[in-house]
Structure 1
Amino acid sequence: MTLPRPAARISRLMLGLVLLVAAGLVGAFLAAPDRPVEGSPEAGFSRDMAVHHTQAVEMALIIRDNTDDAELRTIALDMLLTQQNQIGRMQDWLIQWGLPLTGARRPMEWMGGHHGGGGTADYTKMPGMASQQDLARLREARGRDAEVLFLTLMIAHHQGGVDMAEAVLPLTDDAHVRSLARSIVRSQSAEITVLKQLLEDRGGSPAS
């Protein structure tokens, strides 16, 4: 059956609109950035920074038990809550990307081996990570000794975190990763200044 001329025009118009919408959807799909995959800088950063943050949380918990200094206990609590929250965000990304929370690649491999870690699977090779011996000493220390050791370790730890966050920025276009990395650079750089002053007040000096 031949459609009346106005109906034919409407039919052709509807078909054209459908094709335009479909083309737009396909174009948007093709233009959408791929989610990070296994071996990507985003996956490596999220996993390694989560491990790095976990040690900071551990040290913050230790110093809260081993000092009566109200200011330092408040700072430690803030670190604990902030970094625990960021750990949750990074782990949530990995889940959304369809990736496991841990991977088979060596720590810091996403940085291209320029982290000074020697390419081993030793987590202490992450920038700023305290050794197990350092953590054992921190658990045993009390009062001013504990405070000086904590501040010394945490300054180095924060600087390592800043280095990691700065390293991922040129490697990723992911808006969430870039936002968190910038936040880490800002907040931990500011905290380093505060921690150095607290250490100086106690007669200590940052490790070189």
Structure 2
Amino acid sequence: MTVSTDPGAAADAAAPHDPARRPRGPVWAVLALVLGVALGIGIGLSIPHFTKPGDDSVEAGFLRDMSTHHAQAVEMSMIAHQRSDDPEIVYVANDIALTQHGQIGYMQAWLRDWGLSPSSTRQPMEWMPNSAGSIVNGLMPGMATPEQLTKLRGASGKELNTEFLTLMRQHHLGGIHMAQEAVKLSDNKDIDWIAQSMVNSQQSELGLIDDLLKKVQAG
């Protein structure tokens, strides 16, 4: 006895003969496919809307706060770049200014893409749990005070170099802490990427800053 391997033939043999019966399988399959595609398109279009971070999100808070934090680092680095008499410090200051200015560009662009303002009336560090103690006189971790910035602007020679390296060391430590928290709290791949980049680059720069600080203080 020969057994057919054709599923269509097997189905015909198993079904009672009905001349008025018409095959519906292919029609329903097409309709299901069309419906599935339509639903898929609808979901695909709606997902970006729902996954954009909101105004009170960790992502938005981090980008706004770190943009402010970076802006001060750029300001201090430009002072050192323009006024330091040490080529190594000039080089480090230039590198910090360029890197952090570029990262500000990324962060501000993402906020615009999400339809969010680059600034907010929310308290600094509100996105980070248990952060109340991190804010001192309204300043985020590691940020220089107005008095310290004034002193840096008026310094020169060894005093300028020492002040810049000391302030930038503290600035990096505060920035690293913020970026590490962002990596832990956010599941956004862009935030994870830029925050981890900040951690890596600033940890590397800390070693160089420490070496330069020892050299300046010994001179």
TM-score range, shorter chain: 0.7 to 0.9
| Residue among 100, 104, 110 paired with 1:93 | 110
Distance 2:136 2:155 in 1: 32
Q: Deviations over 1:23-76 (max 9, x none)?
A: 333455676661110111101100000000000000001011221211111111
CA contact (8 A) 1:63 1:73 kept: yes
Partners in 2 of 1:53 and 1:23 — Cα distance? 43
1:201 aligned partner: 215
Q: Which amino acid aligns with 1:14?
A: V
Residue in structure 2 matched with residue 154 of structure 1 by the alignment:
168
One of 51, 64, 67 as aligned partner of 1:34: 51
- Residue 112 (1) aligns with residue 112 (2): no
CA distance in 2, matches of 1:115, 1:170: 18
The TM-score with structure 1 as length reference comes to 0.87
Cα distance between partner residues in 1 of 2:130 and 2:205: 27
Assess if the C-alpha contact under 8 Å between 1:106 and 1:119 holds in 2.
no
**RMSD value, Cα:** 2.2
Gaps of 5+ in 2: 1-20
Q: Deviations over 1:56-98 (max 9, x none)?
A: 0000010112212111111111111110010010001110111
Q: Which runs of 5+ in 1 are unaligned?
A: none
2:190 alignment partner AA = H
Alignment match, 1:183: 197
Out of 130, 138, 144, the residue aligned to residue 152 of structure 2 is 138
Paired AA for residue 53 in structure 2:
P
For 2:28, give the aligned amino acid: R
Of 17-26 and 76-85, the range deviating more from structure 2: 17-26
Contact conserved, 2:135 with 2:141, CA < 8 A, in 1? no
Distance in structure 1 (CA, Å) of the matches to 2:61 and 2:86 = 37
Residue pair 2:124, 2:135 contacting (<8 A) in 1 also: no
Say yes or no: does 1:66 pair with 2:80: no
Partner of residue 14, structure 1: 30
TM-fit CA distance, 1:171: 1.2
Instruction: Show the counterpart of 1:127.
Output: 141
Q: Which moved more, 1:27-36 or 1:88-97?
A: 27-36
For 1:131 and 1:92, locate their aligned partners in 2 and report how far apart those are by CA, in whole Å: 28
Alpha-carbon contact 2:80-2:90 (below 8 Å) kept = yes
Q: State the Cα distance separating 1:20 from its structure 2 match.
A: 2.1
**C-alpha distance in structure 1 between counterparts of 2:161 and 2:173, whole Å:** 18
Q: In the alignment, what sits opposite 2:9?
A: none
1:173 to 175, 187, 190: 187
